[in-house]
Amino acid sequence: MRRAARLDLPLLLPEVKDLRDACVARLMRLLERQEGVESVHVVEASAEPDGEPPHADGATRTAPSGPQLCLHYDPDRLTLTQVEAFAHAAGAGVTDRFAHMVIPFRAVGAEDEGRRIEDALRELRGVSAAVVNFAGQVVRVEFDRRRVDRALIEARLREVGAVPVAETVGQEGAPASAAAVEAGASAGVTSPAAPMSKSWSARNRTLAWSISSGALLVVGWALGRFTEAPSALALASFAAAYFFGARDLVGHFIADLRRGKFRFNIDLLMVVAAAGAAVLDAWLEGALLLFLFSLGHSLEKYALGRARRAIAALAELAPQSATVIRDGKELSVPISEVVRGDRVVIKPAERIPVDGAVREGNSAVNQAPITGESVPVDKAPGKPVFAGTVNGEGALVVEVTAAIGDRTLDRVIKLVSEAQTQKAPTQRFTDRFARIFVPIVLVADVLLIAIPPLLGVWTLEESFYRAMALLVAASPCALALGTPAAVLSGIAQAARKGVLIKGGAHLESLGAITVLALDKTGTITVGEPSVTDLRPTTGVSTDALLATAAAVEQRSQHPLAHAIIGAATSAGVAVPAARDLESVTGRGIRSTIAGVRVEVGRLLMFEERGAAVPAAVRTEVEELERAGRSTVAVLRGDEWLGVIGIADEPRADVRQTLDRLRATGIRRIVMLTGDNAGVGNAVGMEVGVDDVRAGLLPEDKVAAIKELEREGRVAMVGDGVNDAPALAHATVGIAMGGAGTAAALETADVALMGDDLGRLPFAIGLSRQARAIIRQNLIVSLAVIALLIVATTTGVIGIGPAVVVHEGSTLVVVGNALRLLVYRHASTG
């Protein structure tokens, strides 16, 4: 059993005293709902004796300055990145005391023994989580900088035969280094040269051993069959075949013993079976077993490596150098020297090396590599561009907003590597099954050797032979590989098509979704609303209404605020200065202009504080809402200035997308909106949702999700910024526009990189297929095990055929999983 990891998070909270509690409570709620979190509790700084840790198992450390949040979580399911993203969403920050990084490594003779590496790292004090990517080439570690550092972790990795390949960037422990270290980690993943720099035979050492074993096996067999050579020669040949065939397995076993660990695993079953065969003088079968087993291993590793390289290929997308304008001259510099603020020239048809904002030029950029959109996106000054995408026919000058390590592309690679280490529930089941099953098989085997001869049913030799065949039959190789191989390929394929799935668990749940909840603004609609109606009250000018509203909205991020400011700008009205902004979530915004309080928002905001809304204002609001407008009312002091009507367009292809979603098996599609029912129904009708719930406050959205959850598993799609609670509550939270907003990318369970619902049918279709494949693999591997157990114990088949069927089923299962790497959704690209 794996112990839950514990984190004590010192939180950085806004200074306001009463805000503090609200934030902590909000963060705790967000975290507690998160799958993988076992418990969350606050450890007050004052409640703690000086220097005493809040838990007996904690080590001494200096007294924290603020409230600490103690989090018990399952490192297989949740990452520190996610915890931090939630903290941000709740308005808190997390100190840089905890580091998390993805370290790529080259494994020397320990390629597929991820668990051994994980255990070795977790034994280090201060390491809260260590998870190895199943393809065995990156490890994600989370640790406390005060107790351990990257150098120690890398030293430990080397001890267990895994050589880190990333260059360490930045100084461990220095506050500013967190980003740099991470950048280093992802840069390491990014550099394709590093893991490839070994010779073929070193990279394929296990394969070479396995082939030697096979060749020696054939020699031994031929010697006995066709020649008069002394049998000692054939024996020597078989013994050598054993040596090479068992080399890898025994190597791991000894390395474990050295560290005081004894493990009942599949490898052990195989070695015991082969040794038993030798005792029975069935050298040929024993050698065949070891040869096929080691060959199978190498092939699986190669196949899984393909899934992993699918992600590394993403990194290779971005060019290694950029043309930068410095002192008016164009210079080609290595990408590592490009910094934020640099201006980079992008020639026609060139791949874009950085994330940036267009400053000069117009061009259509093919963003498929990042967002999966097949149609090029027009770029004009002010628009964002992403590293890894391909410029069209125009030249662009781009101001760098994110240099290497920080680019969307780097984030995606890092998140995907992390996601591939997060286990699916089915894998947790098979892991548990294997842990119980393997010892049972060993016991059954001993009984099989002893009991039948005692009863006089079989001879000892016969019993022994069948027992060895049973070991092969019952080893759950296919079972152990089927799920992780599917998760690895599924996540890789999704990422290649602009969908980020944050782990095996989310892949499986997304495949089981039957109910879809969609946010309106920015999800179903374009999210760029504009002012359509200005209805000032009598005696107030439209300019005054607009200018006052715009003044208050200036600091708001709400789409409605953008619309009002846009209208004020194009009308050319003078916007006064506003102070003391207070935004009332889901309701509106308050501020003061020249000492007078101004409120802009929906009627509910005024009613909640007991303000009387005049009938004239109410009538205007109702009239506009019937016409399908979003409305805000404006109150200055106690003078009502009027009502503003705003409209947003539904996205062009939402209706078709919803139809395709229904075709994938979504039974119910519901729109959740904070906006009024008039707008909600108008938009809902137009795009064809099954149900509209309007006028919802953020907490109502959570309640709506809970209610929908009774009808089936619910996915909620939103922009990921102000929908965080609803997204966290749904079975699967899906954020749109992951390429544009880092928050959306990091908080959600699934992120659509493009700002477009069109990828959703693909994502759900892929997950459904992944689920189906996981289930098929489970059935095939269990059925083969059951069949082989019966066939070997009854003596229908011997060790040789058992080995062939066993290895065959393992390869079938891996091959089945790799089908996901070529998954395409009908009618998507």
Ligand X SMILES: Nc1ncnc2c1ncn2[C@@H]1O[C@H](COP(=O)(O)OP(=O)(O)OP(=O)(O)O)[C@@H](O)[C@H]1O
Active-site residue set? 519
Tell me phi and psi for residue 322, to 5 degrees.
-140, 150
- Indicate the SS3 state at residue 292: helix
385: left (phi over 0), alpha (psi -120 to 50) or beta: beta
Tell me phi and psi for residue 266, to 5 degrees.
-60, -40
Q: Is 806 in the site for ligand X (CB under 6 A)?
A: no
For the CB of residue 707, give the shortest distance to ligand X in the complex, in Å. 17
For the CB of residue 58, give the shortest distance to Zn ion in the complex, in Å. 9
Q: Which residues are at the interface with Zn ion (CB under 5 A)?
A: 70
Measured between alpha carbons, how far is 141 from 418 in angstroms, rounded to an integer?
A: 10
**281 Cβ contact partners less than 8 Å away, ≥ 6 residues apart:** none
Closer residue to ligand X (CB): 8 or 553: 553
Measured between alpha carbons, how far is 709 from 701 in angstroms, rounded to an integer?
A: 12
70 binds, among ligand X, Zn ion, none (CB under 5 to 8 A by kind): Zn ion
For the CB of residue 587, give the shortest distance to ligand X in the complex, in Å. 5
Q: Is 563 in the site for ligand X (CB under 6 A)?
A: no
Measured between alpha carbons, how far is 147 from 97 in angstroms, rounded to an integer?
A: 10
For the CB of residue 636, give the shortest distance to ligand X in the complex, in Å. 14
Among 466, 558, 771, 825, binds ligand X (CB under 6 A): 558
Pair 240, 290: CB distance under 8 Å: no
For the CB of residue 490, give the shortest distance to ligand X in the complex, in Å. 30
Closer residue to Zn ion (CB): 78 or 162: 78
521 binds, among ligand X, Zn ion, none (CB under 5 to 8 A by kind): ligand X
For the CB of residue 100, give the shortest distance to Zn ion in the complex, in Å. 19
Cα dihedral value 262, 266, 267, 271, nearest 10: 100
- Indicate the SS3 state at residue 112: coil
| Interface of this chain with ligand X, residues 618 to 637, rule: CB under 6 A | 630-632
Nearest to 159 by CA among 232, 110, 211, 216: 110
Measured between alpha carbons, how far is 276 from 180 in angstroms, rounded to an integer?
A: 54
User: Measured in whole angstroms, how far is the alpha carbon of residue 89 from the centre of its chain?
Assistant: 18
Q: Is 501 in the site for ligand X (CB under 6 A)?
A: no
Q: Closest-CB residue for ligand X?
A: 674
Closer residue to ligand X (CB): 271 or 633: 633
Residue range at the interface with ligand X (CB under 6 A); choices 109-117, 312-320, 487-495, 600-608:
600-608
Nearest to 322 by CA among 253, 399, 227, 432: 399
Q: Give the single-character DSSP code of 650.
A: B
Q: Is 535 in the site for ligand X (CB under 6 A)?
A: no
What the block records as the tokens of 358 is 């267009």
Tell me phi and psi for residue 139, to 5 degrees.
-125, 135
601 binds, among Zn ion, ligand X, none (CB under 5 to 8 A by kind): ligand X
What the block records as the tokens of 70 is 């103690």
Measured between alpha carbons, how far is 139 from 718 in angstroms, rounded to an integer?
A: 31
Q: Closest-CB residue for Zn ion?
A: 70
Bridge partners, residue 40, by sequence: 71
For the CB of residue 633, give the shortest distance to ligand X in the complex, in Å. 8
Measured between alpha carbons, how far is 324 from 331 in angstroms, rounded to an integer?
A: 5
Q: Is 758 in the site for ligand X (CB under 6 A)?
A: no
Among 452, 504, 588, 758, binds ligand X (CB under 6 A): 588
| Interface of this chain with ligand X, residues 648 to 687, rule: CB under 6 A | 673-675
Q: Is 602 in the site for ligand X (CB under 6 A)?
A: yes
466 binds, among Zn ion, ligand X, none (CB under 5 to 8 A by kind): none
Q: Is 734 in the site for ligand X (CB under 6 A)?
A: no
Among 190, 421, 475, 521, binds ligand X (CB under 6 A): 521
Q: Is 400 in the site for ligand X (CB under 6 A)?
A: no
- Indicate the SS3 state at residue 639: strand
Among 600, 621, 736, 797, binds ligand X (CB under 6 A): 600
Buried b (16+ CB within 10 A) or exposed e, 47-60: eeeeeeebeeeeee
Among 561, 734, 748, 814, binds ligand X (CB under 6 A): 561
688: left (phi over 0), alpha (psi -120 to 50) or beta: left
Q: Is 44 exposed, middle or buried (0-12, 13-18, 19+ CB in 10 A)?
A: exposed
Q: Is 246 in the site for ligand X (CB under 6 A)?
A: no
793 binds, among Zn ion, ligand X, none (CB under 5 to 8 A by kind): none
Pair 449, 463: CB distance under 8 Å: yes
Q: Is 560 in the site for ligand X (CB under 6 A)?
A: yes
Maximum alpha-carbon separation in the chain: 117
For the CB of residue 690, give the shortest distance to ligand X in the complex, in Å. 16
Q: Is 599 in the site for ligand X (CB under 6 A)?
A: no
What the block records as the tokens of 147 is 């107790």
Closer residue to Zn ion (CB): 70 or 444: 70
Residue range at the interface with ligand X (CB under 6 A); choices 396-404, 571-579, 595-603, 821-829:
595-603
Q: Is 520 in the site for ligand X (CB under 6 A)?
A: yes
Closer residue to Zn ion (CB): 70 or 272: 70
Closer residue to Zn ion (CB): 78 or 415: 78
Closer residue to ligand X (CB): 674 or 758: 674
Cα dihedral value 739, 741, 742, 746, nearest 10: -90
For the CB of residue 119, give the shortest distance to ligand X in the complex, in Å. 46
What is the binding site for ligand X (CB under 6 A)?
519-521, 553, 556, 558, 560-561, 586-589, 600-602, 630-632, 673-675
